[in-house]
Structure 1
Amino acid sequence: MAPFTIAAMAATVVGKRGADRLPARTVKLYFAVLLILVALYTAGRSIAAL
């Protein structure tokens, strides 16, 4: 649990710095792409398990 917590804290700091340097529209676009990729991955794993 501790490694996950440390990684999440580090990712928060890095993500905040990156988000401050990019336009809001770009951050939203990257987030949307990430959500789609996670959804596709999850769907693929679910379909493969059938």
Structure 2
Amino acid sequence: MEIMGHSQIAVTMNIYAHVIPAMQQEAASRMDDALGGPGSDELGERDAD
């Protein structure tokens, strides 16, 4: 909000709320890769399946 210069958080959320789910999915995928979660091989890369 402050960085974008919006006077209210509602303005920022109305503009950027659609981005949050994609960011969460990307973060979860990266954590799976880093921790060797399901679908990861020994090098931390996802299977092509």
Q: For the superposition of Structure 1 and Structure 2, which TM-score range results when normalised by the shorter chain?
A: 0.3 to 0.5
Larger Rg: 2
TM-score, normalised by the number of residues in structure 2: 0.45
